Structure 1
């Protein structure tokens, strides 16, 4: 049995919102590594993006949750099945023209455009467009139009969820589904999840303990029932500084 498994969102949580650095989290990353505690990345990023960061973080053979829970990255795997993504793009093109025109997905953008709107280097933006399971994008229309857009997609079996910056389309799997699958694989006794945006909510509530990392750049996460029960807490600091604050405090609480 694995005593504790940590699941972490990336942008705005483990990675700084502005520069994508995890430097401020390094003390907590070192502490996890020293204790052999698995760190499972849980992100909207693609497998191609995660592979680079996964190696940088020295996460070995631990899997990662990618594309907001729509897929699982396993180091060394050559899986490149993009059938789910192809179905999502086809569903978009079946929508009424006025709804389709108000959504610009990564598949509608060039690498350079994705780099511009995300602040990613061009090579990273190219990896962000190597999608297999989901389609993030920008909504340009009204709130009412967005509701119609989501309703129309739901009729085609596609769900739309808001993240820190994008509206992401998928077949409905969430980070919580990935957490449960990987926790079962690792026979985890306890799970800790950290995130900062609405698309992290299900994962935070599925974990033994959830941490809402302060978000100064988006809608953040409204109060959750677990906060009153003590199973969900919030950080005082944003991004990787808050991440380290929470992880070190929890590790200190769980020392033998």
Structure 2
């Protein structure tokens, strides 16, 4: 086993997966090119380990680790998901102990049935069931006024719970970002030497740390969400933006980066 030329870290919904139908067909040429060059693709998503495991297998990426629940955990390569959920149950206890005037304005996956999760996400019923098998974090929506939202988040923070806004949901957890887990994964690929370069792709606020920490970042166009502000890495030329959305944009930018990075390495 040798150190790969670089490692790709990819968000899923709205990035590698189409926002509407969750397909990745448009990214197949780039995925094949990465496979030919021995480049690992690490899925980095708000999705749970039970959700990511079958998807990772369908994408022929079981040899790669995956970052789950927005960086709250890692699914090691070739393993089945760990079904322990102590952190999630603790998070739900903190949430349910909040004053009713705040608690009633937040609805999370634990408050919804699998059918309701399917309706809100567009996921097939079986995938929605897997999305409710959470180990670390709680995605949901805030339905109250902004001033109460600030109090809600401040009270959670006092309990050690952080909140991150993704493409669809406000996700609560005990911390850990995709960037934190990216650093861990890269160390695993270093094989005693320097870690390989990281390429990161994402489309939402919860991807910003990962994009900024990568050697090469790509903001994938997302016409369904608010456009990310200009990041520091863009001014330095480390971060670029796709013109196409979703997997088509992913494909466009990865093919370009593969050509650039393999040319530099002489591969």
- State the TM-score, normalizing by the size of structure 2: 0.94
- Could you tell me whether the CA contact under 8 Å between 2:50 and 2:81 is conserved in 1? no
> Using the alignment, how far apart are the partners of 2:164 and 2:36 within structure 1?
36
**1:177 corresponds to:** 180
Pick aligned residue for 1:5 from 4, 7, 31: 7
The answer to whether residue 240 in structure 2 is matched with residue 233 in structure 1 is: yes
Please report how far the alpha carbon of residue 148 of structure 1 lies from its aligned counterpart in structure 2 after TM superposition. 1.1
Once the two structures are superposed, the pairs formed by residues 92-131 of structure 1 within 5 Å of their partners are 92-131=95-134
SS in 2 for 1:205: helix
Question: Post-superposition, which runs of at least 4 consecutive aligned residues in structure 1 deviate over 3 A?
Answer: none
- State the TM-score, normalizing by the size of structure 1: 0.98
Pick aligned residue for 1:219 from 221, 226, 229: 226
How many residues align structurally?
256
**1:134 corresponds to:** 137
Unaligned runs of 5+ in 1: none
Pick aligned residue for 2:64 from 35, 47, 62: 62
Please report how far the alpha carbon of residue 2 of structure 1 lies from its aligned counterpart in structure 2 after TM superposition. 2.7
> Using the alignment, how far apart are the partners of 2:251 and 2:55 within structure 1?
18
> Using the alignment, how far apart are the partners of 1:63 and 1:189 within structure 2?
15
Please report how far the alpha carbon of residue 50 of structure 1 lies from its aligned counterpart in structure 2 after TM superposition. 0.3
- Could you tell me whether the CA contact under 8 Å between 2:4 and 2:38 is conserved in 1? no
- Could you tell me whether the CA contact under 8 Å between 1:91 and 1:156 is conserved in 2? yes
Unaligned runs of 5+ in 2: none
> Using the alignment, how far apart are the partners of 1:78 and 1:27 within structure 2?
29
> Using the alignment, how far apart are the partners of 1:70 and 1:254 within structure 2?
30
User: Relative to structure 2, which stretch is displaced further, 182-191 or 13-22?
Assistant: 182-191
The answer to whether residue 93 in structure 2 is matched with residue 86 in structure 1 is: no
